[in-house]
Structure 1
Amino acid sequence: MWVIRFGEQTTTPWSNGGGHTVTLLQHPAHAEQTEVIWRLSVAEIVGSSAFSTFRGLSRWFVPLTDEIEVTVGEQHNRLPPFDVLSFNGADQVSTRQHQQTTHNLNIMARTDVVDMRLHRHTLEPGEALGPRLTPLSARPSGDEHPGELDALVVLDGWLTGASGEVAPWSLVTEPTRSDLAATAPTHVLHVHITLADGGKPSAPHSL
């Protein structure tokens, strides 16, 4: 298990001044933004904003703090916190929000290369994390595949265990092997990223 704490990561300002991004984890680790296979990040959006386009990528957007209006092409969506919206990275996307500043989880992936699955869970105080989650795969030890990921993002609430406290917007790898438990009502998003079968395009899944 590896904990990536939001507050310890580098903040990157947007070139248009509309916000900034904290990358939690990506593959390849040092790839340029246009060359990533997948990336999980938290963005702070200031005021209304237009998204950059990323052709060849699928995207998932999760409000973390406040309701936000997201327009994808001609479709208008009103998202409460923790709802998941998926769209094509080539789409024209803009946001409108009631609060001046919001934080949002952004996930992007090349779904011609990987299969992305998202599962949202709510934990009650004292509830252990591991029993609620399904492992990424049953691969034997030593048969790891670079670019695959079994991780969990804390959307709100707190987790605690032998590795200490895990605050909101942090990421935990291999969460099914952890001793973490919720210390308050806690929403989490379990992220499965596996290699697409035979390298064929794979449709995104969310729950």
Structure 2
Amino acid sequence: MIHTEFAWETADMVADRAVVIRWGDLEPTPWKNGGGLTREIASSPEGSNTSDFDWRVSIADVEAAGPFSSFPGVDRVITLLEGGSMILDSESGRTVLTVREPHSFPGEASVTCELPDGSTRDLNLMTRRGQASGDVSIHTVSSPMRIDGDGSRRLVVALEDGVDARESQRSNWTLDCFDVLDTTGPLSVGPGTFALISVL
């Protein structure tokens, strides 16, 4: 079972939400093409699957070279979290991924990966064109970073143990590596290293 913590604040009849998802509670599931395992962090609409989501965030373990699953009509952002490197080959050329550098590509592209340094772990954002859009950024801060609420859904993914997150003056959490804070409200995060995913 996923342990969650909630906080609400009513503004213009819309409730802010904050949910903490602990990495150890996420269950691995097979890739769409069966070539690996992934852990889904969040998706919309709730209960959607790999064929009908508007957007989806997950962390995948890649242990062998091979093709990526095809997702027509979907924009993808992949961010290498662990492992020396990953090489992507597609019709548009060859891309060498390095740790914590987000890379965007279309989901319908025919992409294969090479793992010159062995297995990797990566963070994935997928948004369906015309239904959602999003971006991924990586931050390392020595003091809390303020993130204002603008109506978008935000997921803060800790990339090390002990990342503090606070929502206003109401709630605060300590996130360990790959724990996630899923929120729509303003917050501050840090010190530490984390990925920030924003989805509209």
TM-score, length of structure 2 as denominator length: 0.78
Runs of 4+ in 1 over 6 A off after TM superposition: none
Moved more, 89-98 or 168-177: 168-177
Deviations 1:113-166 (CA, angstroms, capped at 9, x unpaired) = 123133332122xx224x2x23233xxxxxxxxxx5122222345313665531
Kindly provide the amino acid, as one letter, of the partner of residue 181 in structure 1: G
Q: In structure 1, which of residues 45, 66, 71 is the aligned counterpart of residue 62 of structure 2?
A: 45
Kindly provide the amino acid, as one letter, of the partner of residue 102 in structure 1: T
CA RMSD of aligned residues (A): 2.3
- Secondary structure in structure 2 of the residue aligned to 1:33: coil
- After TM superposition, give the deviation of residue 178 of structure 1 in Å: 4.2
Pairwise mapping of residues 57-96 of structure 1 onto structure 2 (< 5 A)? 57-66=74-83, 67-96=85-114
Q: In structure 1, which of residues 109, 127, 134 is the aligned counterpart of residue 127 of structure 2?
A: 109
Match of 1:128 in 2: 144
Does structure 1 residue 172 correspond to structure 2 residue 181? yes
Contact 1:45–1:101 under 8 Å retained in 2: yes
Kindly provide the amino acid, as one letter, of the partner of residue 193 in structure 2: H
Specify which structure has the higher proportion of helix: 1
State the identity as a percent: 21
CA distance in 2, matches of 1:106, 1:55: 16
- Secondary structure in structure 2 of the residue aligned to 1:7: helix
- After TM superposition, give the deviation of residue 60 of structure 1 in Å: 0.5
Match of 1:160 in 2: 164
CA distance in 2, matches of 1:119, 1:76: 22
CA distance in 2, matches of 1:181, 1:122: 8
Contact 1:72–1:87 under 8 Å retained in 2: no
Does structure 1 residue 100 correspond to structure 2 residue 125? no
For structure 2, the 5+ residue unaligned runs are 1-17, 166-170
Match of 1:198 in 2: none
Residue 70 to residue 155, structure 1, CA distance change in 2 (3 Å): farther
Deviations 1:12-32 (CA, angstroms, capped at 9, x unpaired) = 134765320000000112112
CA distance in 2, matches of 1:42, 1:93: 18
Contact 1:72–1:93 under 8 Å retained in 2: yes
- After TM superposition, give the deviation of residue 189 of structure 1 in Å: 2.1
- After TM superposition, give the deviation of residue 81 of structure 1 in Å: 0.4
CA distance in 2, matches of 1:120, 1:15: 27
Match of 1:203 in 2: none
Q: Which has the higher relative contact order, 1 or 2, with Cα contacts under 8 A spaced 6 or more apart?
A: 1
Kindly provide the amino acid, as one letter, of the partner of residue 122 in structure 2: N
- Secondary structure in structure 1 of the residue aligned to 2:82: coil
Matched pairs, number: 177
Q: In structure 1, which of residues 149, 167, 186 is the aligned counterpart of residue 153 of structure 2?
A: 149
Match of 2:49 in 1: 32
For structure 1, the 5+ residue unaligned runs are 138-147, 195-207
- After TM superposition, give the deviation of residue 9 of structure 1 in Å: 0.8
TM-score, length of structure 1 as denominator length: 0.76
CA distance in 2, matches of 1:166, 1:14: 26
Contact 2:77–2:136 under 8 Å retained in 1: no
Kindly provide the amino acid, as one letter, of the partner of residue 107 in structure 1: L
Kindly provide the amino acid, as one letter, of the partner of residue 196 in structure 2: H
